[in-house]
Structure 1
Amino acid sequence: MNETLVTIVGNAATDVRYSTTAAGVPLASFRLASTERRFDRQRGAWVDGETSFVTVWAWRWMAENVVSSVGKGDPLVVTGKLRVRDREQDGKRVVTVDIDAWALGHDLARGTSAFRRAVRARPELVEQQPSWERTAVGGEAMPTERVPAPV
């Protein structure tokens, strides 16, 4: 297994985009901005360096949790498989940098977060899955409707 694993600390630079593949697999993505900070001895102060942008991809249950938990500007820590691709677009060489997330969470060095375990229902026991939306207050994910399981 020759995979390049990375951990990046940064901020969500875009809102999370959510979709499903043709096979129905949930997929979420967003851009993560990570800015280098270093101490400048001549100035005697911390200064910002270059900002790197990567696209973070989350699949399956993580995708559903990401869309319910992450908002633009949130400080995050992302660990996953690095993918760097060279391609041509409109006659120009373009390099894209992606991370297939294996673990993703809020950066607790810069704020607090409240963890809630996601409950997964067995599809055969649920008539209709609730649709999840971020609420305007607090960003907490809440179902828009609740459907009880048959007894």
Structure 2
Amino acid sequence: MLNRTILIGRLTKDPELRYTPTGVAVCQFTLAVDRPFTREGGERETDFIPIVAWRQLAETCANYLRKGRLTAVEGRIQIRNYENNEGRKIYVTEVIADNVRFLESNRNSSNDEPIDISDDDLPFG
């Protein structure tokens, strides 16, 4: 049996980092992934896929990912359920991340200046 998924998309908002009562880090974010086809009007449909990362990967995601950043996630699909306050069973489908790749540099307005490196600074030549 095999349960693997690879997604590439953009974060819909900054990730949320929390800790379990036993101190294990868990980070949640949503990835917007375009579908490979368009509607009649030319609009591309998008799926919003919840992602969950645990432990060190959770802390890394919380530190480096931001809203709008292009990101690749490799993981497995998990379906869990719980009972809400009204007694109804709620099903949640999410991707448990095993690997997260940051596909764009982390740019913000104060760090967009080019780096000045002379040929003497390079270890090869």
Task: Report the TM-score when normalising by structure 2.
Answer: 0.69
The separation in 2 between residues aligned to 1:68 and 1:94, in whole angstroms, is 31
Q: Which residue of 1 aligns with 2:71?
A: 76
Deviation at 1:84, TM superposition (A): 2.7
| Percent of matched pairs sharing the same residue | 22
Q: Which residue of 2 aligns with 1:132?
A: none
Q: Which residue of 1 aligns with 2:25?
A: 26
Q: Which residue of 2 aligns with 1:10?
A: 9
Q: Does structure 2 conserve the Cα–Cα contact (< 8 Å) formed by 1:26 and 1:59?
A: yes
Q: Which residue of 2 aligns with 1:142?
A: none
Q: Which residue of 2 aligns with 1:97?
A: 93
Within-5 A mapping of 1:1-151: 2-38=1-37, 47-49=43-45, 51-85=46-80, 89=84, 90=86, 94-107=90-103, 112-113=104-105, 137-138=110-111
Deviation at 1:63, TM superposition (A): 1.0
In the alignment, residue 113 of structure 1 is paired with which amino acid? S
Aligned Cα RMSD in Å? Answer: 2.7
In the alignment, residue 78 of structure 1 is paired with which amino acid? V
Task: Report the TM-score when normalising by structure 1.
Answer: 0.59
List gaps (5 residues or longer) in structure 2: 112-125
What secondary structure is seen at the aligned counterpart in 1 of 2:71? Answer: strand
List gaps (5 residues or longer) in structure 1: 115-134, 139-151
Classify 1:19/1:96 alpha carbon distance in 2 versus 1 (closer, same or farther; 3 Å).
Answer: same
